Structure 1
Amino acid sequence: MKKICSLSLIAALVFISCNSAPEADEAKTEEQKEVAVTEGEVYKVDSTQVAQFIGTKPVGQHQGTFNVTGGEFFVKNEAILTGGKLTFDINSLQITDKDTSGAHKLKGHLLSPDFFDATNHPAATFEITSVEEYVPDSTNKIVLDGATNTIKGNLTLKGVTKNVAFPAAINITPAAVTARANFNINRTDWGLVYGNDQSLGDKFIRPEVNVSFNITASK
């Protein structure tokens, strides 16, 4: 009987571990910080770009995008990123799952007060508070390929602002700035707690959400 119970427990743990958040850098989350003093020339972000996200549960995952409605980066001496800001349109949410059968229903639920509450909070913002040279951290097993900097910034989502830090690959030329990142955040830090209870079984929605972007800004 004990053997059967042990096997059942192992099976349950394997089930819960399936479809976990993609392996990526874990963003460090702290309280809101003072925004960086910006210096240098302005590089504008156009509105044709998107940020991607992946949410997971024991029986699958969902992927989607948000449009970047605007933003800017500041560059000093054509070589040093000093600050910047990005704005995202929550109502632009698109579900990009391979199986599109439930996309419309899922989009409606994510935009509802259970999650993003888009009616009352139609925009999200990320504003840089510091840019540091990237130094490998032995506590983080996954490192973004080509990471050059650690970016820290205030992420405001659903009316809550938290400071997040993550590795990024920054490339600066006289004509453009590109910023690439891939990291996981805990959605409950911003009050998105729906489904965050493992007793829900296959209806449990993991708190970790993968966020990635590859954004270009031009003069």
Structure 2
Amino acid sequence: MKNLKTIALALFVATATAVSAQTKKVDVAKSKINWVGKKVTGQHNGTVDLKEGALVFKGTKLTGGKFTVDMNSISTKDLEAGKGKEKLDGHLKNDDFFGTDKYPTAVLEFKTIKDKGNNVYGVTADLTIKGKTAPVSFDIAVKGNTATTQFNVNRTKYDIKYGSGSFFDNLGDKAINDDFEIDASIVF
């Protein structure tokens, strides 16, 4: 009887400590991605939707993630219909920017993750936009069933050079910053 209790306890401990990876699918309807693009004379902001995504955990620790963004959903929020919104949204979708006819999605895939404590992780990920892949680094905080992050993306790494002072001279007040800002709240 004592051996049976010992075996049962050993199995319980082994089961409790052998934590396997768990993939948690993202709720795309509840998740939000906001963007801000700045230029010399001001800025524009808007949203873009997730198509699909998942975070991977081992126990409570974040160990991976991959997200696909629907680039055709890019939408300016600071302009009203009839006040240039349709023109800017169309321009963002054309080849000067994201070329959504040819590249309808962008993909972010976590490559390395460092636990910084307090449910904050330092992530280096591969971001693919317009068929070009480059690394991005950011911190992501996980609380309950939500992960939040803010980071900048240098658009020129993805061959998006329109209005960039890094590539064109004499743009004056038509220059557009190379970096755009992402602020994401991911619900899983």
**Does the alignment reach a TM-score above 0.5?**
yes
How far, CA to CA, are the matches of 1:134 and 1:41 in structure 2? 20
* TM score, norm. by length of structure 2: 0.81
For structure 2, which runs of at least 5 residues remain unmatched after alignment? 1-19
In the alignment, structure 1 residue 45 sits paired with structure 2 residue 23: no
1:129, distance to aligned residue in structure 2 (A): 0.6
CA positional deviation for 1:50? 2.7
Aligned to 2:122: 150
- For the pair 1:185 / 2:153, whether they are aligned, the reply is yes
Q: Pick the structure with more strand per residue.
A: 2
CA drift at 1:163: 1.3
Q: 2:170 is paired with a residue of what secondary structure?
A: helix
Deviates more, 1:103-112 or 1:90-99: 90-99
**CA RMSD, 1 decimal:** 1.8
Matches within 5 A, 1:60-139: 60-77=42-59, 79-100=60-81, 101-134=83-116
* TM-score for the superposition, normalised by structure 1: 0.70
Match of 2:6 in 1: none
Pick one of 117, 139, 149 that aligns with 1:167: 139
Which 4+ stretches in 1 moved above 4 angstroms? none
Distance in 1 separating the partners of 2:38 and 2:80: 15
C-alpha contact 2:62 2:121 (8 A) present in aligned 1: no
Whether 2:177 is the aligned partner of 1:209: answer no
Q: CA deviation at 1:47?
A: 2.1
Cα deviation per residue 1:60-85 (whole Å; 9 max; x = unaligned)? 111111101111111112x1111111
Aligned positions, number: 164
| % same residue | 35
For structure 1, the 5+ residue unaligned runs are 1-38, 136-145
Residue 132 to residue 196, structure 1, CA distance change in 2 (3 Å)? same
The structure-2 alpha-carbon separation of the partners of 1:147 and 1:80, relative to structure 1 and needing over 3 Å to count, comes to closer
Alignment partners' CA distance in 1, 2:134 and 2:57? 24
